[in-house]
Amino acid sequence: LSVKTIEVHRANIKEKLQLKTAPDLVHFAVRWTEAEGAS
């Protein structure tokens, strides 16, 4: 995987989830992981 591939995937995920920044994406991922672990 190239750096550009990762950047594009990350941008697509942020757009789909309506997130603006990389920290927003990390925060979302942490909350999602915690919710999945609780179920």
Q: What is the pLDDT of residues 21-35, one digit of tens each?
A: 999 999 999 999 999
pLDDT at residue 35, as a whole number:
93
Question: Which is more confidently placed, 37 or 19?
Answer: 19
**Two tokens, residue 17:** 């989830």
Model pTM score: 0.73
Residue with tokens 């992981």: 33
Is it the case that residue 38 has pLDDT exceeding 90?
no
- The encoded tokens of residue 20 equal 């603006």
What distance lies between CA 27 and its chain's CA centroid?
8
Structure token digits, residue 30: 């942490």
Show the tokens assigned to 18: 């309506």
Structural domains counted in the chain: 1
pLDDT value of position 37: 84
Q: Name the residue range of residue 31's domain.
A: 3-38
